[in-house]
C-alpha cells in the first residue's frame, strides 16, 4: 500500500480468493483496502474507520449485498457503493 492512499475501499465478498485478488489489485494501485466476508464482518471493520467506497457482492451469507447497500446509504449517504455480482437478470441490475 502506498503511504498516502488515494481512496479507502472496503471489499465485502465471501469468496476468499476473489476478495484477496481484488484487494491485491486495488492495493497495488494505491488504495487502502479493508476486507470482510459478510455484512457482519463489514460492521466490525467500520467503527472508527474512514471508508470512501464499498465493493459489495450481492450473494452473501446472512444479509444480501442489496440490504447492506441500503443500510450503508441510510447511515452515510456520501459513501460510494459498487455492486459485484455474477447475476445478469435485468431486475437485479436495475435494483443495483
The pLDDT tens digits for 55-72 are 999 889 899 999 999 999
pTM value?
Answer: 0.84
> How confident is the model at residue 48, as a pLDDT?
85
Q: What is the pLDDT of residue 51?
A: 94
Q: Which residue has the higher pLDDT, 2 or 25?
A: 25
Residue given cell 440490504 in the structure block: 67
C-beta separation of 64 from 85 below 8 A: no
Tell me how crowded residue 56 is: count the other CB atoms within 10 A of its CB.
26
User: Is 28 strand, coil or helix?
Assistant: helix
For residue 57, what are the contacts with CB-CB under 8 A and spacing of at least 6? 12, 13, 14, 15, 65, 84, 85
Q: How far apart are the C-alpha atoms of 31 and 38, rounded to whole Å?
A: 21
Amino acid at each position: 500500500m502506498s503511504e498516502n492512499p488515494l481512496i479507502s475501499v472496503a471489499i465485502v465478498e465471501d469468496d476468499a480468493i476473489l476478495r484477496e485478488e481484488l484487494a491485491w489489485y486495488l492495493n497495488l494501485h494505491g488504495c487502502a483496502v479493508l476486507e470482510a466476508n459478510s455484512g457482519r464482518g463489514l460492521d466490525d471493520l467500520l467503527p472508527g474507520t474512514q471508508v470512501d467506497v464499498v465493493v459489495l457482492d450481492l450473494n452473501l451469507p446472512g444479509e444480501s449485498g442489496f440490504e447492506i447497500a441500503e443500510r450503508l446509504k441510510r447511515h452515510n449517504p456520501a459513501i460510494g457503493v459498487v455492486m459485484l455480482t455474477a447475476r445478469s437478470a435485468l431486475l437485479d441490475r436495475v435494483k443495483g
